[in-house]
């Protein structure tokens, strides 16, 4: 099974501005991968302002994808218009939130709604955390991936941590009790980071317009180098489990080389 993760699209209502062109490139990139993903996860900030017209543009831009697409809201989204446009995906949805389960072959995917209206920071209230604990307790033997917008750990970047998930230690404590969680996937940072989180791994996806490389010499301010956009690919195989790759979204002119033919290295 192959899962593609996009994040932080920031789509406006304009069908051909830079955010729309960036998403078109990302969609084209997914469609030309050596193996087509089985599904796509979008970890928040699907739109810039959470407006009805923006969700219409978003849906039109992802329409070429033949596989299921599952999204959760970010701080730039608005829950009600997003639910109205996309509906409640998956199963076992939590009333009033865009929080749900996706049964994906060998994996169980759990989407979390960290949206906090009127704030850039995120929140998982008692209701949302209680629902998560119930879902994780249902099938403890089945590998699980949690996807959300706000990373549930500090990044070390003061500005971004100031608009991160509130009380992340509560989430970490909950997840640490459920050993089947293979990965926690998030966005929000517009950059790829990997770190420990509640006994498992947290990975954040770059943006579809740019990847940010932060100036780590000045963590008190947000100074970044703009690099090529990218997506994450998460591959599940019985022998290896969940293995994640970063795939740079470029101009599509990629060369394919057979370095090993299955029996020997090619010279």
Domains defined along the chain, listed by start? 2-248 (3.60.21.10)
Residue 44 and residue 152 in contact, taking contact as beta carbons nearer than 8 Å: no
For 175-193, what is each residue's pLDDT tens digit? 999 999 999 999 999 999 9
Encoded tokens for 90: 């998956």
Given a cut of 80, whether residue 251 has pLDDT beyond it is: no
Given a cut of 80, whether residue 254 has pLDDT beyond it is: no
Given a cut of 80, whether residue 252 has pLDDT beyond it is: no
Q: Which has the minimum average pLDDT: 53-57, 71-75, 188-192, 217-221?
A: 217-221
Confidence of residue 63 (pLDDT cuts 50, 70, 90): very high
Residue 67's Cβ-count burial label (10 Å; 0-12, 13-18, 19+) is middle
Rounded to whole angstroms, how far apart are CA atoms 43 and 200? 18
- pLDDT, the chain, mean: 95
Total count of residues recorded for the chain: 267
Given a cut of 90, whether residue 46 has pLDDT beyond it is: yes
The structure tokens 């969940």 sit at 242
pLDDT given for residue 14 in this prediction: 93
Residue 124's Cβ-count burial label (10 Å; 0-12, 13-18, 19+) is buried
Rounded to whole angstroms, how far apart are CA atoms 101 and 131? 11
Given a cut of 90, whether residue 77 has pLDDT beyond it is: yes
Confidence of residue 149 (pLDDT cuts 50, 70, 90): very high
For 12, 40, 50, 167, 173, the CA distances from 22, given in Å and listed in that order, are 12, 16, 18, 33, 37
Confidence of residue 219 (pLDDT cuts 50, 70, 90): confident
Encoded tokens for 162: 């100031």
Given a cut of 90, whether residue 255 has pLDDT beyond it is: no
Confidence of residue 200 (pLDDT cuts 50, 70, 90): very high
| 132-143 average pLDDT score | 97
DSSP state of 206: P
β 194-197/200-204 pair status = antiparallel
For 47-62, what is each residue's pLDDT tens digit? 999 999 999 999 999 9
Rounded to whole angstroms, how far apart are CA atoms 116 and 95? 16
Helix-, strand-, coil-residue percentages of the chain, each rounded to 5:
20, 30, 50
Rounded to whole angstroms, how far apart are CA atoms 134 and 3? 24
Percent of the chain whose pLDDT exceeds 70: 99
Given a cut of 90, whether residue 253 has pLDDT beyond it is: no
| 89-104 average pLDDT score | 97
Confidence of residue 35 (pLDDT cuts 50, 70, 90): very high
Confidence of residue 226 (pLDDT cuts 50, 70, 90): very high
Coil, helix or strand at residue 238 = coil
| 3-14 average pLDDT score | 97
Neighbours of 254 (CB within 10 A): 12
pLDDT given for residue 73 in this prediction: 98
Residue 56's Cβ-count burial label (10 Å; 0-12, 13-18, 19+) is middle
User: For the chain, what is the radius of gyration of the CA atoms?
Assistant: 18
């Amino acid at each position: 099974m192959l899962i593609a993760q996009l994040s932080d699209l920031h789509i406006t209502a304009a069908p051909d501005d830079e955010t729309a062109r960036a998403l078109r490139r990302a969609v084209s990139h997914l469609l030309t991968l050596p193996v087509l993903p089985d599904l796509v996860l979008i970890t928040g900030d699907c739109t810039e302002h959470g407006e009805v017209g923006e969700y219409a543009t978003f849906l039109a831009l992802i329409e070429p994808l033949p596989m299921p697409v599952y999204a959760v809201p970010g701080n730039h989204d608005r829950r009600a218009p997003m639910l109205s446009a996309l509906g409640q995906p998956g199963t076992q949805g939590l009333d009033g939130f865009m929080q749900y389960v996706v049964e994906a072959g060998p994996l169980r995917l759990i989407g979390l709604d960290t949206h906090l209206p009127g704030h850039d920071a995120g929140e998982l209230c008692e209701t949302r955390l209680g629902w998560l604990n119930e879902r994780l307790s249902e099938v403890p033997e089945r590998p699980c991936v949690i996807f959300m917008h706000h990373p549930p750990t500090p990044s070390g970047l003061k500005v971004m941590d100031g608009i991160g998930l509130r009380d992340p230690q509560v989430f970490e404590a909950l997840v640490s009790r459920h050993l089947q969680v293979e990965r926690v996937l998030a966005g929000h940072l517009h950059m790829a980071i990997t770190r420990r989180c509640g006994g498992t791994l947290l990975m954040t996806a770059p943006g579809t317009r740019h990847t940010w490389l932060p100036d780590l010499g000045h963590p008190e301010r947000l100074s970044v180098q703009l690099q090529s956009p990218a997506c994450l690919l998460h591959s599940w195989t019985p022998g290896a489990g969940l293995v994640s790759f970063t795939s740079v979204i470029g101009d599509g002119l990629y060369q394919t080389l057979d370095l090993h033919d299955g029996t020997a290295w090619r010279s």
